Amino acid sequence: MESLALMVAIIVAPAFYGGPIAFLLSLFRPKKMSRFRRWSILVLAILSIISGAYLLVRFVSSGANVIGALGLSTGLGAIWQLKRNGKLIP
């Protein structure tokens, strides 16, 4: 049972935490953004999009759909913010 809980945590954590963290990191736009910050935003956003889409496609429960939609929307929002500022390419 512990391995099942660990697998669920690995699937849900990027969507639940990674997307909002990436989105918040992309909101504060200094004149010159460091490479580490751009890479961390991209990695967190991509992981959030993948896990969020997985949770939305595999209908498990309504709670999983909400977490998937949260991860997908915030991940896409973070990438959109980077693209809008012209800093998408690290």
pTM above 0.85, yes or no: no
For the stretch 59-65, contacts whose Cβ atoms lie closer than 8 Å and that sit 24 or more positions apart, written own/partner, are 64/12
Q: Which of 57, 72, 59 is nearest to 14 (CA)?
A: 72
What per-residue confidence (pLDDT) applies to 37?
Answer: 84
Predicted local distance difference test score (pLDDT) of residue 30: 66
Provide block-wise average pLDDT over 10 residues at a time, the chain (90 residues).
82 85 83 82 90 86 85 90 70
- Domain map of the chain by residue range? 2-84
| H or E stretch covering 1 | none
Rg (CA), the chain: 14
